[in-house]
Structure 1
Amino acid sequence: MTGGGVEAFRALHHGRAAGDPLILPGPWDVASARVFEDAGFAALATPSAGIAASLGYADGAVPPREMFAAVGRIAGGVSVPVSADVEDGYGLPARELVDRLFDAGVVGCNLEDSWGGKAERSGTLKEASAQADYLAEVRAVAGAELFINARVDTYVRGVADLEETVRRARLYVEAGADCVYVILAPADVLPALRDGIEGPLNAIAIPGGPSPKELGELGATRITFGPGLQRQAMAALKGIASDLG
């Protein structure tokens, strides 16, 4: 991994006009990553749930070794920067986590602030100051060579509290996060998040929801898709399969 790749990826998040967010498709294997690269996307962001499905695991059940191997294959299979969703860091100390990310060749990572069940509302939020301390440790180890996207899980865990969400986000930015990702925050909350949080803001695009352009107009800096693209691809494949007979 080169610093230039990280710097180029970080630069993609800044100076963007409203309505022109950075769109980061989520590849689940090398083949899908190459499709997105060939389509002209400047960078990619792997979804842990999409990779889990491609490897035959339930979301959250992929052994860390297999997850890092999968994202390493993806990063090595394309020429654009790749960021990896590594869930809550798998309980790894900051040094080991950073070393594995660097070995995989990725330029960034998502780190979420909850643990436990993957179903919506079934997990538990971590104590915000402890999560901020962990993010600060990751930043200290990685220096500027890693883009940290701090995921705030308040809404996905059923804590629809704007004040608490902004408090957590600010702690994570102060700890060194490059970007904040309030997953599943309602679209109408994005303007308040934009006003309350310094730096880039990640939003998720979901089927039937606002378009990436609309999310950008509401305040999102970058758009990711979670496992949505992999699931749409599998739905299309089911349709193809049903026509084979």
Structure 2
Amino acid sequence: MTTESGTTNATGAERGAELRRLHTAPELLQVVNVWDVVSAKVVAAHPETRALATAGHSIAASFGYADGEIPIHLMLDMIGRIAAAVDVPVSADLDDGHGDAAETVRRAIGVGAVGANIEDRLRPLDESIDVVRAVVAAAETEGVPFALNARTDAFLLAGDRPFADSLSDAIARGRAYIDAGATCVFVPGNFGEDVVAALVDGIGERRVSVIGLPALPAPGRLEELGVARVSYGPTTQRVALGALDDLTASLYAGGVLPRVIRDLN
């Protein structure tokens, strides 16, 4: 349904189906991560925005918590506020599931999310597969198509093991998560095109999700390689805070406000 202002009030099921479609479409899905209502509205106002993703690290920082330590009720409250403020599907960063991934996803769906990242934190593979299956089952029970972006920390938590072993582990975990019902597999890491290509070859075309970091190819090349999704994590908030930090330093040094200030809030 379209409102007089031209925005679309889609149902949860419609948003969920659209988010699932965006992950499997030939075009790369770019999601610029947000952390509160005003950042969500700024990003959603761009006509290129087809979906949003929350950044758990950024939301936690906004409330004064370290990454992964924010109480779940605060995280879900902000996710709900973001989902209610925009007309595009919202995928939520739910850390490792906060002790009960299936219940956390059920509650996230209840506040409007239609997708989520869940970290495996390199738990034993059989335990991680069980988590994916439980999340998929919980979403099915809620009756909302759900885009599970199952994250493996095969590179982030690799320690000193050989890189080749981490790559093999990421592929093995990714295949297992897809088989268990995940929409795609999130493999964060600062690696180059050869690794991206190997992940896509091993896990599947339009089945791999990455995070935009300096070593990764540009979005256009990621699309050519068959990547499903790229997100940007806490870097979006860091850029915003960097601008605030620079302005503060300039004002304290005797500067003045910029002549042009966009009214984005």
TM-score normalised by L of structure 2: 0.82
Q: Which amino acid aligns with 1:175?
A: A
| 1:167 maps to which of 160, 172, 175 | 172
- The aligned counterpart of 2:32 is 25
Mean Cα deviation higher: 128-137 or 203-212 = 203-212
Shift of residue 203, structure 1, vs aligned partner: 0.9
CA drift at 1:129: 1.2
Q: Structure 1 residues 93, 57: CA separation in 2 closer, same or farther (over 3 Å shift)? A: closer
**In the alignment, is the contact (CA less than 8 A) between 1:112 and 1:152 conserved in 2?**
yes
State the number of aligned residues. Answer: 231
TM-score scaled to structure 1, two decimals?
A: 0.89
* Secondary structure in 2 matching 1:12: helix
Partner residue in 1 for 2:116:
109
Distance in 1, matches of 2:112 and 2:58, equals 19
1:181-214: CA deviation from partner (whole Å, max 9, x where unpaired):
1111512301011111134211110257532223
> Is 1:239 equivalent to 2:246 in the alignment?
yes
Distance in 1 between residues matched to 2:44 and 2:32, nearest whole Å: 9
Aligned match of 2:263: none
Superposition map of 1:75-86 within 5 A? 75-86=83-94
Q: Residues 88 and 112 of structure 1 are in contact (CA less than 8 Å); yes or no, is this contact kept in structure 2?
A: yes
Question: 1:32-87, CA deviations, whole angstroms, 9 ceiling, x for partnerless residues?
Answer: 10010111201001111011112221111101111111111111111111000001
Taking every aligned residue pair, what percent have the same amino acid on both sides?
A: 40
* Counterpart selection for 2:64 from 56, 66, 70: 56
Look up the equivalent residue of 2:113 and give its one-letter code. Answer: V
The residue that corresponds to 2:20 in the other structure is 10
Which of structure 1's runs of 4+ aligned residues deviate more than 4 A?
none
| Higher deviation after alignment, 172-181 or 193-202 | 193-202
SS class of match (1:244): helix
1:213-232 matched pairs, under 5 angstroms: 213-232=220-239
Q: Which amino acid aligns with 2:133?
A: A
- The two structures, once aligned, show a CA RMSD in angstroms of 1.6
Q: Look up the match of 1:119.
A: none
Contact 1:129/1:171 (CA < 8 Å) preserved in 2? no
Q: What is the match of residue 39 of structure 1?
A: 46
C-alpha distance 209-182 of structure 1, shift in aligned 2 (>3 A): closer
Asked if structure 2 preserves the Cα contact closer than 8 Å seen for 1:45 and 1:84, the reply is yes
SS at match of 1:145: coil
Q: Which amino acid aligns with 1:203?
A: V
Computing the radius of gyration from Cα coordinates, the structure with the larger value is 2
Note if contact 1:135-1:175 (Cα within 8 Å) is conserved in structure 2.
yes
- Mind listing any 5+ residue stretches in structure 1 that lack a counterpart? 115-124
> In structure 1, what residue type is equivalent to 2:149?
N
Taking the aligned partners of 2:244 and 2:211, their CA distance within structure 1 comes to 23
2:107 to 100, 106, 112: 100
